[in-house]
Amino acid sequence: MRAFIALTVLIAAVFCLMPPSSAQVGFDRRGGDYTNFPVRSGDPAVCASRCDREARCRAWSFIYPGAEHPATCWLKSQVPPRVEASDAASGVRGAGVIEPRNQTREFSIDRPGGDYRTLEVPAEPNGEACRHACEADNQCRAWTYMRPGYVEGGARCYLKNRLTPPRHRPCCISGVER
């Protein structure tokens, strides 16, 4: 009995040290699709939740909207390996959506208000051009990059002359500069 308890404790310790099997923004899982559907809200959490409710689903991929296509959820009957993809989020059944952690960027955060300038910027995974535009402007205190597909046209950068409270929105990446 002691050996069984010791083995159970050892296995639990190993699982605690392993990285969690969670969804990650910036990765896709290609293949194994059995259905797909548009996600009107553009939120990858909708995709994760739907997978959790379907017995057949083992994994999912969410493709952020683009200028040419809506946000789309792909449910999978197997767990394909993940590959880097800046326009995607993916995970396995039962996993929540984990945004990248970064000191200079707030992923899935909008800072509505305080806009004094709007720019069209290239579509990119981390809002780098928007951050640089804010750094180069003495009036800029914060910025929000809106991914393409959430507004007409391509990606947008909103420069802000005051700080506003953050609000969770999957469309956006924000940052505070000064």
Three-class DSSP category at 115: strand
**Tens digit of pLDDT for each residue in 162-171?**
999 999 998 9
Residues 38 and 92 both lie in one domain: yes
Domain residues for the domain of 139 are 106-176
- Domains identified in the chain, total number: 2
Would residue 129 count as lying in a domain? Answer: yes
Residues 94 and 112 both lie in one domain: no
**Tens digit of pLDDT for each residue in 73-107?**
999 999 999 998 888 999 999 877 766 666 778 88
Would residue 14 count as lying in a domain? Answer: no
Would residue 4 count as lying in a domain? Answer: no
**Tens digit of pLDDT for each residue in 131-174?**
999 999 999 999 999 988 888 778 899 999 999 999 999 899 99
Would residue 5 count as lying in a domain? Answer: no
**Tens digit of pLDDT for each residue in 37-81?**
999 989 999 999 999 999 999 999 999 998 788 999 999 999 999
Q: What is the CATH number of the domain that holds 57?
A: 3.50.4.10
Last residue of a domain, one of 98, 128, 146: 98
Phi-psi region of 22 (alpha: psi -120 to 50; beta: other; left: phi over 0): beta
Determine if the pTM surpasses 0.85. no
Sheet containing 142-146: give its strands across.
106-110, 167-176, 142-146, 156-160, 115-120
The residue with tokens 């559907």 is 37
